[in-house]
């Protein structure tokens, strides 16, 4: 199967999920869906700046940063969808860290100077 998202890859999502992800969380068909969710959410958060559509225009440094933000959000969806393979404290810790990465990314994406430096 081929990655269907633009901002992150399945491999990046798997790294964000971390060790011992269960079969549901690491299934590529699922990670592709969660990447698309993350991309949609980022697009909504940036008020339609065209992160995916204008991906080719984004500078290389920002592409890697966007990948980390999108992968964190996709991993958040994966863990949130099936929380049964870790104890509650580990699950909540993972969800909190991933959400913090995503929220910090969104905060930066709302700044016009960051959008401009990205090439959008």
pLDDT tens string 86-110: 888 889 999 999 999 999 999 999 9
| pLDDT, tens digit, 9 for 90 and up, residues 9-61 | 999 999 999 988 888 888 889 999 999 999 999 999 988 889 999 999 999 99
- Dig out the tokens for 86 from the structure: 């870790």
Q: What is the CA radius of gyration of the chain?
A: 14
Predicted confidence at residue 13, as pLDDT, reads 95
Q: In degrees, to the nearest 5, what angle opens at C-alpha 62 toward C-alphas 76 and 38?
A: 25
Q: pTM for this one?
A: 0.92
Closest CA to 32 of 60, 84, 71, 81: 71
Question: Given 3-state DSSP classes, what are the helix, strand and coil percentages for the chain, each rounded to the nearest 5?
Answer: 70, 0, 30
Q: What b/e readout covers 11-33, taking b as 16+ CB neighbours within 10 angstroms? A: ebbbbbbeeebeeebeeeebbbb
């Amino acid at each position: 199967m081929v990655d269907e998202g633009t901002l992150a890859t399945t491999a990046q999502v798997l790294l964000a999920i971390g060790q011992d992800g269960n079969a549901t969380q690491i299934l590529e068909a699922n990670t592709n869906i969660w990447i698309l969710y993350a991309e949609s959410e980022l697009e909504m958060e940036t008020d339609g700046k065209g992160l995916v559509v204008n991906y080719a225009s984004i500078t290389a440094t920002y592409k890697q940063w966007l990948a980390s933000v999108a992968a964190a959000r996709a991993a958040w969806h994966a863990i949130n969808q099936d929380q049964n393979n870790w104890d509650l404290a580990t699950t909540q810790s993972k969800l909190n860290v991933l959400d913090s990465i995503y929220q910090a990314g969104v905060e930066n994406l709302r700044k016009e100077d960051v959008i401009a430096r990205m090439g959008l």
